[in-house]
C-alpha cells in the first residue's frame, strides 16, 4: 500500500513496526529541538514513538496547526493489546484533534510493505530561477497589458498549432512572467486578458497566483452563488461572448492556481495580498485565505471599506515578497516587500517588477475604467518619514 503525504507534513509513527528504518527526515522525540525547527520551515518530518500517550498527540496536533503543516498518524496496532492509546477506536478522536489522516493496521505484512509518495506542492518552485517579470493587478486592462509586455521585450512569432496560425510568445532573454492575481473584473476586457494569460501559460512562459477577484469569478463560473458586484458584472458580460469550451479552460486554469510561489531558492515570493514568513511555501487553507484575501478578521471602516492590513509593516522575512491587491500611486517598498498594484484600472498604471534586476517598468492606463476605490498612501497611514 502506498500512502501519500504533503512535502511539509508531520507524520507520527506509532508502534513497533520496522518502518522508521527506511524513513529519512526523522526526529528522535517530542523534545528534539529539530522538531519545531523543521515544522517552522515546512520540512517533511517523521517522528517515531512506540507507544505515544494522548498528551503527546495533542501537543503534536497543536504545533502542527500553529506551523500550518498537515499532521498524520500511522500506527501498527495490536489487537491483543487494546489499552494502547493508538487503537482502532481512537481514529475519530484523533481526527477531531486535527489529525488529517489516520492510517492504522494490525497486519504486519501490510505494515512492512507500506511505501510513501510525496505530493508535489504547487507553492514550491525554488528551482525556477527566472529571470522574472512580476505583473500586478491587471483587472481586465488588456491593452495596457499588451503595451507592458511590449515594453518588457516580449515578442511574438507566427506558429502553426493544430493546423491553425497562432502567435507564439517569447522573450529573447528567456524571461518568465508571473501574474500576481486579480486578472479579471472592473476593466474593459477581462475575457481577452484571460485568453492571453492562458495562452502564455500554455506556452510555458507565464505563471499566475490567485487573487480575490479571480477566486470569486471561479466560484461564479462553477455555478456557485456569489454576489455580483465590484466589477464582476462586467466580467460576466464580457464572457457571454465566449464559448463553453473556453470557460471550461478558464475554470481548469483558475482551479489549480496556488496561493503563492516560492521562487529562486526561496529568495523571492509572489503573492496577491501578502504573506507572513511562517506561511511561506506551505499550503493550508488558512494560508490560502491570507494570501488571496489579506489578513483575516479585517474589520470595516465607517465608509464600509476594509481596514488596511498591516502585514507589510510587520514583515521581517528574509525572502523578498512581491504582491498587489492594494492600489498605490507608486510601487511601495517596505521591509523587503513591494506592492506593485499601481491601480491601472483606476486610471493609474500597470507595473512590472523585473527580477533579479529589481527594476520597475510601467505603462500608464489609457483610461479610467473604474472609480470608487481610493489609492492607499501607506506612508500617511503608517506615519512613515520619507
Q: Which is nearer to Mn ion, 144 or 182 (CB)?
A: 182
- Where residue 282 falls (left for φ over 0; alpha for ψ -120 to 50; beta otherwise) is beta
| Size of interface with Mn ion, in residues (CB under 5 A) | 4
Name, in order, each residue with C-beta under 8 angstroms of 199's C-beta and a sequence gap of 6 or more.
167, 169
Nearer to Mn ion, 212 or 280 (CB): 212
Residue number, nearest CB to Mn ion: 325
260 binds Mn ion (CB under 5 A): no
Whose Cβ is closer to Mn ion: residue 46's or residue 217's?
217
Strand order in the sheet with 71-76: 26-27, 45-49, 10-14, 71-76, 101-105
Distance, CA of 226 to chain centre:
22
Is the Cβ–Cβ distance between 77 and 86 less than 8 Å?
A: yes
Segment contacting Mn ion by CB under 5 A, of 83-91, 151-159, 322-330, 364-372: 322-330
373-376: list long-range contacts, CB under 8 Å, 24+ apart. Answer: 373/327, 373/343, 373/346, 374/305, 374/327, 375/327, 375/328, 375/329, 375/343, 375/346, 375/348, 376/308, 376/326, 376/327, 376/328
* Minimum distance, C-beta of residue 203 to Mn ion, in the bound complex (Å): 26
Q: How far is the CB of 122 from Mn ion (least distance, A)?
A: 20
Residue 212, interface with Mn ion (CB under 5 A)?
A: yes
Q: How far is CA 53 from CA 5, 73, 94, 151, 198, in A?
A: 23, 13, 12, 62, 51
Does 139 engage in binding with Mn ion (CB under 5 A)? no
39 or 291: CB nearest Mn ion: 291
Cα Rg of the chain, angstroms: 24
DSSP element (H, E) containing 196: helix 190-202
Nearer to Mn ion among residue 243 and residue 299 (C-beta): 299
Stretch that binds Mn ion, among 115-123, 145-153, 324-332, 344-352 (CB under 5 A): 324-332
- Minimum distance, C-beta of residue 325 to Mn ion, in the bound complex (Å): 4
Half-sphere exposure of 44 (CA within 13 A, CB side): 13
In terms of CB distance, is 124 or 216 closer to Mn ion?
Answer: 216
CA dihedral 16, 21, 22, 25 (to 10 degrees): 110
**Where in 17-76 is the site for Mn ion (CB under 5 A)?**
none
Quote the CA–CA distance of 317 and 308 in Å, as a whole number.
Answer: 20
Selected from 38, 325, 348, 352, the binder of Mn ion by CB under 5 A is 325
CB of 212 to Mn ion, least distance (A): 5
| Part in contact with Mn ion (CB under 5 A); list of ranges 141-149, 193-201, 207-215, 228-236 | 207-215
Q: ∠167-134-183 over CA atoms, to 5°?
A: 70
Q: In the block, which residue shows the cell 486535527? A: 98
Do the bridges between strand 2-6 and strand 45-49 make them parallel or antiparallel, or are there none, so unpaired?
A: unpaired
Residue closer to Mn ion (CB basis): 72 or 216: 216
Of the ranges 85-93, 182-190, 231-239, 247-255, which one interacts with Mn ion (CB under 5 A)? Answer: 182-190
CB of 323 to Mn ion, least distance (A): 10
Region of 101-109, 180-188, 350-358, 374-382 interacting with Mn ion (CB under 5 A)? 180-188
Written as nine digits, the cell of 249 is 479552460
Using the rule CB under 5 A, is 182 a contact of Mn ion? yes
The pattern of x and - marking residues 272 through 311 that bind Mn ion according to CB under 5 A reads ----------------------------------------
Q: Of 124 and 272, which has the nearer Cβ to Mn ion?
A: 272
- Closest CB 20 distance from Mn ion, rounded Å: 45
Is 375 within 8 Å of 343 (Cβ atoms)? yes
Q: Between residues 111 and 323, which has the closer beta carbon with respect to Mn ion?
A: 323
Q: Which stretch binds Mn ion (CB under 5 A): 151-159, 177-185, 194-202, 262-270?
A: 177-185
- Tell me: does residue 351 bind Mn ion (CB under 5 A): no
Chain positions contacting Mn ion, by CB under 5 A: 182, 211-212, 325
Amino acid at each position: 500500500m502506498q500512502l501519500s503525504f504533503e512535502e511539509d507534513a508531520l507524520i507520527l509513527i506509532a508502534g513497533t513496526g520496522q518502518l522508521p528504518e527506511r524513513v529519512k527526515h526523522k526526529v528522535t522525540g517530542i523534545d528534539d529541538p529539530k522538531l519545531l525547527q523543521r515544522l517552522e520551515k515546512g520540512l517533511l518530518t517523521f517522528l517515531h514513538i512506540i507507544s505515544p500517550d494522548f498528551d503527546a498527540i495533542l501537543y503534536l496536533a497543536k504545533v502542527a496547526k500553529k506551523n500550518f503543516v498537515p499532521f498524520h498518524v500511522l500506527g501498527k496496532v495490536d489487537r491483543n493489546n487494546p489499552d494502547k492509546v493508538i487503537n482502532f477506536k481512537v481514529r475519530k478522536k484523533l481526527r477531531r484533534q486535527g489529525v488529517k489522516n489516520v492510517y492504522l493496521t494490525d497486519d504486519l505484512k501490510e505494515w512492512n510493505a507500506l511505501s510513501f509518495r510525496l505530493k508535489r506542492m504547487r507553492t514550491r518552485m525554488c528551482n525556477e530561477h527566472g529571470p522574472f517579470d512580476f505583473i500586478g493587478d491587471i483587472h481586465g486592462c488588456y491593452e495596457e497589458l499588451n503595451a507592458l509586455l511590449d515594453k518588457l521585450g516580449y515578442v511574438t512569432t507566427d506558429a502553426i498549432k493544430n493546423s491553425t496560425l497562432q502567435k507564439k510568445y517569447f522573450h529573447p532573454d528567456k524571461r518568465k512572467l508571473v501574474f500576481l492575481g486579480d486578472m479579471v473584473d472592473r476593466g474593459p476586457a477581462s475575457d481577452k486578458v484571460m485568453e492571453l494569460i492562458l495562452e502564455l501559460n500554455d506556452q510555458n512562459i507565464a505563471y499566475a497566483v490567485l487573487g480575490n477577484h479571480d477566486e470569486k469569478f471561479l466560484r461564479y463560473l462553477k455555478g456557485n452563488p456569489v454576489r455580483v458586484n465590484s466589477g464582476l458584472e462586467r466580467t460576466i458580460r464580457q464572457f457571454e461572448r465566449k464559448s463553453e469550451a473556453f470557460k471550461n479552460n478558464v475554470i481548469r486554469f483558475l482551479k489549480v492556481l496556488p496561493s503563492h510561489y516560492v521562487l529562486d531558492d526561496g529568495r523571492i515570493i509572489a503573492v496577491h495580498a501578502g504573506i507572513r514568513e511562517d506561511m511561506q511555501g506551505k499550503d493550508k487553507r488558512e494560508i490560502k485565505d491570507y494570501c488571496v484575501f489579506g489578513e483575516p478578521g479585517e474589520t470595516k471602516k465607517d465608509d464600509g471599506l476594509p481596514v488596511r492590513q498591516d502585514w507589510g509593516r510587520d514583515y521581517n522575512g528574509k525572502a523578498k515578497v512581491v504582491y498587489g491587491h492594494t492600489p498605490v500611486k507608486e510601487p511601495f517598498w517596505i521591509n523587503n516587500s513591494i506592492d506593485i498594484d499601481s491601480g491601472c484600472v483606476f486610471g493609474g498604471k500597470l507595473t512590472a517588477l523585473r527580477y533579479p534586476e529589481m527594476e520597475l517598468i510601467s505603462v500608464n492606463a489609457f483610461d479610467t475604467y473604474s472609480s470608487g476605490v481610493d489609492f492607499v498612501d501607506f506612508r500617511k497611514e503608517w506615519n512613515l518619514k520619507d
